[in-house]
């Protein structure tokens, strides 16, 4: 019998195309948020750029938005490798609130203290992956605005840029076709009324 776990993606893994490219098909359970927490881009990546991290706050108004995916043990093992488990990120077990305000027990990844560098910035492609994931899942406008304000840097590694631009182009095309389909449905509904 296959065991499944609930994974809270809050950074570059939020968009299903990105996560499925890494670990294969997985199911979205719910959009969710983690209260009293803030998203930071200060975890040192293998490429020396800033990656996402969760920082807990006393401020009740702060929260990190993300997506809960159902993944298998095998998929979790692959994800652990991508997330440099034990050499960058550690497992964090938390409770998040779904859109229906239900508490859900999940796991996620949090930066290990020795891999935090507050002066880091994300690369442009990484920042866009986070933005596209947040837009895909229709996060609140105020949260999208906060993400948009994050400053980023260009990636000088052309091989990395090409690889990530291919993924970003695929995601953009999918999102554009979804927007086009929604427009067609709305136009059809307008015509039939």
Known binding residue 8? Answer is yes
128 is catalytic: no
Catalytic residue among 3, 83, 117, 146: 83
Known binding residue 61? Answer is no
Known binding residue 17? Answer is no
CA atoms within 13 A on the CB side of 72: 9
Distance, in Å, from the CA atom of 53 to the CA atom of 70, rounded to the nearest integer, reads 21
Largest CA-CA distance found in the chain, in angstroms, rounded: 60
Strand-pairing partners, residue 133, are none
Distances (CA, A) of 87 to 18, 120, 187: 22, 18, 51
Residues counted in the chain: 193
Known binding residue 7? Answer is yes
Residue 110's φ and ψ, nearest 5 degrees, are: -130, 140
Known binding residue 11? Answer is yes
Contacts of 15 (CB under 8 A, 6+ apart): 129, 132, 133, 136, 171
Known binding residue 74? Answer is no
Distance, in Å, from the CA atom of 172 to the CA atom of 163, rounded to the nearest integer, reads 15
Binding residues: 7-12, 126
Binding residues for substrate: 7-12, 126
Instruction: Catalogue the active-site residues.
Output: 83
């Amino acid at each position: 019998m296959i065991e499944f776990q609930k994974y809270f993606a809050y950074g570059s893994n939020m968009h299903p195309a990105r996560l499925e490219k890494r670990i294969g098909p997985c199911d979205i359970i719910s959009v969710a948020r983690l209260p009293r927490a803030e998203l930071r881009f200060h975890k040192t990546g293998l490429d020396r750029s800033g990656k996402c991290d969760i920082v807990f706050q006393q401020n009740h108004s702060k929260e990190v938005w993300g997506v809960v995916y159902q993944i298998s043990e095998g998929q979790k093992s692959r994800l652990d490798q991508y997330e440099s488990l034990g050499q960058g990120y550690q497992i964090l077990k938390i409770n998040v609130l779904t859109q229906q305000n239900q508490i859900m027990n999940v796991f996620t990844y949090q930066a290990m203290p020795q891999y935090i560098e507050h002066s880091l910035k994300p690369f442009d492609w990484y920042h866009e992956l986070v933005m596209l994931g947040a837009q895909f899942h229709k996060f609140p406008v105020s949260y999208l605005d906060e993400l948009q304000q994050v400053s980023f840097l260009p990636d000088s590694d052309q091989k990395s840029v090409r690889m990530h631009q291919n993924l970003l182009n695929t995601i953009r095309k999918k999102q554009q076709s979804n927007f086009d389909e929604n427009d067609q449905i709305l136009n059809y509904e307008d015509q039939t009324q």
